[in-house]
Amino acid sequence: MFDRVAQLVQGVLPHDLMGVVEISEAGDRIRVHAGAGSGKAITPYEVAVPDPQILTRIRDAFIVEDFPNHPLAKGSPAVKAGMVTVLTAPIRFAGRLQALLNFFS
């Protein structure tokens, strides 16, 4: 299903990979839930956020032009796949950052 969503979005926002990460309630971990574009199934996994303050500063969508050197990138499948830039859109419920929708290139 997520692959189909990525295909539909491709016409409006070209991208190489698309993914969704959930933010833990404590804000100290992110869980990768879904991804599309790599041709491989993404197995959900969880990683610690090296500096949880990064997540508290996210208010609006933003672009990271040097993703491999971003604090949230370390060891990510997107970096391993050679992605360099990412457009991130925060997803909030009840005012709390719950997830991030990411478009990689």
The full set of domains in the chain, from first to last, is: 2-104 (3.30.450.40)
The model's pTM: 0.83
Confidence band of 58 (pLDDT split at 50, 70, 90): confident
Mean pLDDT across the chain, nearest whole number? Answer: 84
CA distances from 88 to 104, 105 (A): 9, 12
Is the CA virtual torsion 12, 18, 24, 30 positive or negative?
negative
pLDDT of 46 reads 84
